Amino acid sequence: MAEELSIFVDESGDRGGKARYYVLTLVFHDQADSIAEAVTGYEAKLARADLPNIPFHSEPLMNGHKDYEFLDIEQRKVMLAYFSSFVRKLPISYITFVYRRSQFADPARLMERMGRDISSAMIEHLGFFQSFDDVKVYYDNGQDIVKQALDRSVGKVLSKGVVRRRKTSMTDYRLEQVADYLCTIELALVKYEAKENGETYNKFFGGIGSFKRNWLKQARSKRI
């Protein structure tokens, strides 16, 4: 049976270029390692707590927008903690790249840098990536610079049939949500260290010490 690696991609940074930072996360999952039990356990916890089983999206969760607008902050804190626990149980690894917008004259420069960084990371762990027969990239093509960076790196380095496609199942969907969560944790670290964290981060993660001991440590245990 062919060994298949799935790469789930998410980014944080608006298309208008107003965000101070741009964060790109790639989550790696060996398809031979089922996550069905972890997904079932996570959804059961939501049900027992009478919380909605909705797609995890960290920005509206933390700010009480969209699907989360009718939930109070304590309910949203519980949902974030449950998702964090879910991530901890998953057989995944990840890598995140963080960029300061002011260092790039235009989106094309940022795209080139992202492509180089992805390529370098894959070359550094080439043995891992080459152990798979197929590599499939799951990205919703939300931002063109990410699509181009992926085109210029993954397929080129691995020299194999890389397929990009939209999410096709709830299992795939959950792993894309994991990429969203990890983007948030890595961006939070940057903002804490720059003293730009603000009240929202403090409410959900506590101070920088608590954040590093708990949320960051748990996430970083999955870093490739």
pLDDT along the chain (224 residues), means of 10: 86 70 95 95 97 94 95 98 97 96 89 93 92 86 81 77 55 87 96 90 96 97 96
Candidates 58, 69, 12; CA nearest to 178 is: 58
pLDDT at 14: 55
- Predicted pLDDT at 159: 65
At 1 the pLDDT is: 64
pLDDT of the residue at 125: 94
3-state secondary structure at position 4: strand
Separation of CA 52 from chain center: 21
What integer pLDDT is reported at residue 197 of this predicted model? 80
The reported pLDDT for the residue numbered 182 is 97
H-helix segments, the chain:
36-48, 58-63, 73-88, 107-124, 126-130, 144-158, 170-193, 198-205, 208-211, 217-220
Answer for the pair 27, 11: CB distance below 8 angstroms, yes or no.
no
Residue 51 is predicted with a pLDDT of 97
pLDDT at 215: 97
Residue 63 in 3-state DSSP?
A: helix
At 133, list the tokens.
């027969």
